[in-house]
A = this chain, B = another copy of it.
Amino acid sequence: MGNIFSDRISDVPRSFIREILKFTIDESVISFAGGLPNRDLFPLEEIKKATQKVLETAGKDVLQYSTSEGHEELREWIVNRYKLKNISVQSDNVLITTGSQQGLDLLGKTFLNEGDNVVIEEPGYLGAIQAFSIYRSTFFPVPVTPDGMVIDLLEQAISNHLIKLIYCVPNFQNPSGISYSEENRKEIARILKDKKTILIEDDPYGELRFLGENKPSFHQLIPENTVLLGSFSKIVVPSFRIGWIVARDEIMEKLIVAKQASDLHTNYFGQRIIMQYLKDNDINEHIQKIRQAYGGQREAMVAAIKEFFPEETQYTQPEGGMFLWITLPERLSAMEVFNKAIQRKVAFVPGDPFYVNPKGVNTLRLNYSSVDPETIRVGIKRLGAVLKEILA
């Protein structure tokens, strides 16, 4: 017992993003590094009213322990929301989680033995890499392009290995901002048909589309294989930590056991407030406001990139969500750019933490949701100057 700690905890990558965010405490730094929703759009007054109403009407009930599955009325609301999108689920198949991040942890607990194979996107969501690393899975990164997963490579992974889970963010992916095309989704569905592989469809940004058309959910294409994750963090407020998992009966039964062992149940007061907010307000109207704002911010960022970045720079063109992905000329290291950029008071996340095997990549993530258009222009101008200087 030389090392008192578990092997798993040493395997989990530290959050590099956390380290980076320390630089952005300096208020003169324009930060595209975070992943925060725009606080100006938080419905503070409406949350105040909802909170008051919950405390007036429900009284002490909202202060007591509650059920592991979550608030029934909220689960019904989620069911009805999916119905509008032609996704058919029952409230018994919805589990309220402590944010979507806990959904990932519960899925790790429920499915993963040490060494089990998990396909993830490359670049992929760091939180998922962390959550599954805890259960010592073996990662098979499959690259994503602006259309979705590279089908050949996915097929190859699946025919050569027993893949237990596929993790993906098909709408406005974190970190790249790309979305899977309808064809790409159908190809993936075809590959998974009659297989036991579970596809985790993580969809925190799906409601935030400001361009283009919605694509079919994997839950519509291959319901048997799909576990769907959702969250109120990006459409109402994140601080309450309220998300959900949709899974079929057999899986749900295990997830509830995992949920009990993890935190008994999700904070009930928050669940009740969110529910009251949803009853008393038009969520579609609110989401429309977010879409408009983020659409404008994304446009400002793309315009500034065109104006100020070196011509060889490539960038994704997100149709929704909060992130945009930059590919620098190959000879540049994003880490090196970061070190220079921070001196010029502009921050972003170098691509490295979004790869399982980081290697001084030439890619980086820009967040536009939490910066206003004017500031975006100033920040991108600064960053463009740094890039041109390094290239010169």
Contacts and interface: CB of A to CB of B under 8 A. Distances in A.
Contact of A269 (B8, B14, B112, B240): B240
A158 interface: no
Contact of A60 (B44, B64, B112, B240): B44
Contacts of A105: 261-263
Interface string A145-187: 0000000000000000010100000000000000000000000
B42 A60 contact: yes
Nearest to A98: B263
B8 A109 contact: yes
Copies of this chain present: 2
A214 interface: no
B110 A5 contact: yes
A131 interface: yes
Interface stretch (A77-85, A252-260, A278-286): A252-260
A113 B7 contact: yes
Nearest to A233: B65
A105 B106 CA distance: 11
A215 interface: no
Contacts of A257: 9, 12, 14-15, 130
B1 A239 contact: no
Contacts of A4: 111, 164, 196, 198
A12 to B, nearest CB: 5
Contacts of A39: 60-61, 63-64
A269 to B, nearest CB: 5
Contacts of A51: 51, 55
B239 A63 contact: yes
A112 B6 contact: yes
A313 to B, nearest CB: 29
A223 to B, nearest CB: 15
Interface string A214-251: 00000000000000000001000111110000000000
Contact of A264 (B111, B241, B267): B241
Given A14-B257, A239-B63, A99 B47 contact: no
A6 to B, nearest CB: 5
A358 interface: no
Given A8-B109, A257-B14, A261-B12, A238 B63 contact: yes
A49 to B, nearest CB: 10
A200 to B, nearest CB: 13
A64 B44 CA distance: 11
A221 to B, nearest CB: 19
Interface in A190-222: 196, 198
Contact of A267 (B59, B240, B260): B240
A47 B42 contact: no
B109 A134 contact: yes
A363 interface: no
Q: Which of A40, A196, A241, A261 has the most CB of B within 10 A?
A: A261
Interface of A: 1, 4-9, 12, 14-15, 18, 36-37, 39-40, 42, 44, 47-48, 51-52, 55, 59-66, 68, 98-99, 101-102, 105, 109-114, 116, 127, 130-131, 133-135, 162, 164, 196, 198, 233, 237-241, 254, 257-258, 260-270
6 closest residue pairs by CB, A with B:
A239-B268, A63-B237, A130-B261, A98-B263, A102-B263, A42-B63
